[in-house]
């Protein structure tokens, strides 16, 4: 085949580096934005933290003439000025204590273990997850120890060391399944009462029936009264299915820290909305580098040959700094514009905090009102929180699909979930309501939904099926 050349004219849409930077900043919550700004200050030599609160100015077009003529570098402000000049920024300090593994290793130090046993026990502790379970079989752990640590060991040796770990605090740690976890906790209690002995018997010999809540069958098999059985079940319920959660010093997901991105005050019938950027540093271009450019440029506008490379470097850094400042300002405007629209759309909810007053709202509703793209709204509400007078709310949780009643009225799915939760709370626990019964109740209230929708909402509310809600 002959080699030939031809020209093709095509149109393509590509994001500029500035747009990509803006998109990435838009996704960041407040804490990560603070880290991102500090990272940019470290990477860009012309950026510095602005200690004073100057008035907000718009960034201008970038050119060498501008650098020479402008009197000061525009700064940005990420919120309204509700503070006096005497106020000082109060940084938020997040501390993290010891992890569960560190706590267990410390306890192992009080045991009379050889150096080899300590190495193996520490490796076992490192395989325990945050719930306090060892979810891997000992044969796999032994193989990993041989490859990573270079120590040959047997399953029997690991089993003996695991028995030592089972004696540590919190009770039940290192269990391989729920039954073993509950038995370890029950075994460390005194078996002096008939109730505890019955509870131990249920966990040891009738665990499957207990999990499936076949209570009548269990009472008949154990030949105990309903009162005795109820007391034994209550004893079991006092145990923890996740012993790792009993240790919270390590600051795991069980104790998260949430810093809201928006602050919403409601006083005297009026809303006051602002961005929570109290710990976010303000940045500006260091004037020393602008003076450096002025010194490099001669009176006739020409640059010495030996200064061209340095001038190009400084100009590039200043351009990058101005783009970053502009992106921060645009992020502030986009977030405030979106949150204000959500506030206007859900005013009844933000006044009272009653979730049943949430209007059906999807991303497209806010996008149409703000004139922004749906993807932009999605980035704004993702991982963002607003602090209200009734608590800190995840913005994403305010969006819900619309359901139509028998009268043709559109209601939020939260209204249906509230009614579903109320029905389950008021049900007879001896005879819980099935999904089909719940569907009929909701249909009688005018909500036309199917049984699978009831099951979906029930799972979203973290409510088990009727069989598992049964009590005696």
Q: What is the pLDDT confidence band of residue 249, given thresholds at 50, 70 and 90?
A: low
Q: Is 31 exposed, middle or buried (0-12, 13-18, 19+ CB in 10 A)?
A: middle
**Mean pLDDT in residue range 8-25:** 78
Domain definitions of the chain by residue range: 16-79+256-400, 100-246, 402-469
Q: Residue 233 above 80 pLDDT?
A: yes
| CA geometry: angle 103, 244, 199, nearest 5 deg | 120
pLDDT tier at 226, thresholds 50, 70, 90: confident
pLDDT at 341: 93
What does the DSSP assignment read for 191-256?
A: --SHHHHHHHHHHHH-HHHHHTT-HHHHHHHHT--HHHHHHHHHHHHTS-S-GGGG--TT--TTS-
- Match 């109730």 to its residue by tokens: 195
pLDDT tens column, 27-51? 888 888 888 888 888 888 888 877 6
Mean pLDDT calculated for residue range 227-249: 85
Average pLDDT, the chain: 81
What share of the chain in percent tops pLDDT 90? 12
Q: Give whole-number Cα distances, 438 to 391, 418, 442, 448, 453, in Å.
A: 30, 13, 6, 12, 11
User: Is residue 449 a contact partner of residue 443, using CB atoms and an 8 Å limit?
Assistant: yes
248-267 burial string, b = 16+ CB within 10 Å, else e? Answer: eebebeeeeeebbbbbbebe
Cβ burial 117-127 (10 Å sphere, 16+ → b, else e): beebbbbbbeb
**Could you tell me the two tokens for 230?**
């109820």
- The two tokens of residue 190 are 């005194």
pLDDT, tens only, 201-223 = 999 999 998 888 888 888 888 89
| Burial (Cβ within 10 Å: 0-12, 13-18, ≥19) of residue 150 | exposed
**pLDDT of 403 above 80:** no
- Choosing among 3.30.300.90, 1.10.10.60, 3.40.50.261, 2.60.40.10, the CATH entry for 402-469 is 1.10.10.60
Residue 79 makes CB contacts below 8 A (sequence gap 6+) with: 274, 275, 276, 277, 278, 332
Q: Is the pLDDT of residue 71 over 50?
A: no
Q: Lowest-confidence range among 85-94, 216-225, 389-398?
A: 85-94
């Amino acid at each position: 085949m002959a080699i030939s050349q031809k020209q093709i004219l095509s149109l393509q849409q590509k994001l500029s580096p500035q747009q990509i930077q803006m998109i990435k900043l838009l996704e960041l919550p407040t804490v990560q934005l603070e880290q991102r700004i500090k990272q940019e200050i470290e990477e860009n030599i012309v950026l510095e933290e602005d200690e004073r609160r100057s008035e907000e100015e718009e960034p201008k077009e970038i050119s060498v003439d501008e650098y020479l003529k402008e009197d000061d570098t525009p700064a940005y402000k990420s919120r309204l000025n509700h503070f006096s000049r005497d106020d000082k920024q109060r940084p938020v300090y997040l501390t993290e204590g010891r992890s569960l593994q560190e706590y267990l290793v410390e306890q192992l130090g009080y045991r009379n273990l050889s150096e080899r046993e300590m190495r193996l026990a520490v490796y076992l502790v490192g395989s325990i997850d945050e719930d306090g379970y060892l979810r891997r079989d000992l044969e796999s752990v032994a193989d990993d120890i041989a490859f990573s640590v270079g120590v040959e060991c047997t399953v029997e040796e690991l089993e003996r060391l695991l028995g030592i770990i089972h004696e540590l605090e919190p009770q039940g740690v290192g269990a391989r399944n729920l039954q073993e976890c509950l038995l370890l906790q029950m075994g460390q209690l005194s078996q002096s009462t008939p109730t505890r002995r019955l509870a131990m018997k249920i966990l040891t010999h009738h665990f499957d029936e207990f999990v499936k809540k076949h209570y009548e069958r269990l009472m008949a098999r154990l030949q105990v009264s309903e009162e005795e059985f109820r007391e034994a079940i209550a004893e079991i319920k006092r145990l923890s299915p996740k012993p790792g959660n009993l240790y919270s010093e390590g600051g795991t997901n069980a104790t998260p820290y949430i810093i809201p991105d928006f602050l919403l005050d409601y006083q005297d019938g009026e809303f006051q909305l602002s961005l929570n950027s109290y710990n976010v540093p303000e940045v500006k271009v260091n004037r020393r580098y602008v003076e450096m450019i002025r010194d490099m440029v001669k009176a006739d506008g020409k640059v010495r040959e030996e200064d061209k490379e340095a001038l190009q470097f400084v100009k590039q850094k200043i351009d990058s700094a101005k783009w970053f400042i502009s992106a921060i300002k645009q992020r502030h405007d986009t977030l405030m514009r979106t949150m204000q629209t959500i506030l206007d759309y859900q005013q009844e909810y933000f006044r009272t905090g009653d979730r049943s007053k949430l209007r059906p709202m999807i991303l497209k509703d806010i996008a149409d009102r703000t004139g922004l793209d749906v993807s932009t709204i999605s980035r704004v509400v993702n991982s963002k929180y607003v602090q209200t007078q009734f608590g800190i709310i995840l913005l994403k949780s305010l969006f819900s699909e619309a359901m139509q009643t028998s009268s043709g009225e559109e209601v939020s799915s939260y209204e249906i979930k509230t009614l579903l939760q109320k029905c389950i709370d008021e049900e007879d626990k001896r005879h819980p309501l099935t999904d089909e019964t719940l569907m009929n109740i909701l249909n009688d209230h005018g909500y036309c939904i199917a049984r699978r929708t009831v099951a979906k909402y029930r799972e979203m509310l973290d409510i088990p099926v009727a069989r598992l809600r049964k009590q005696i």
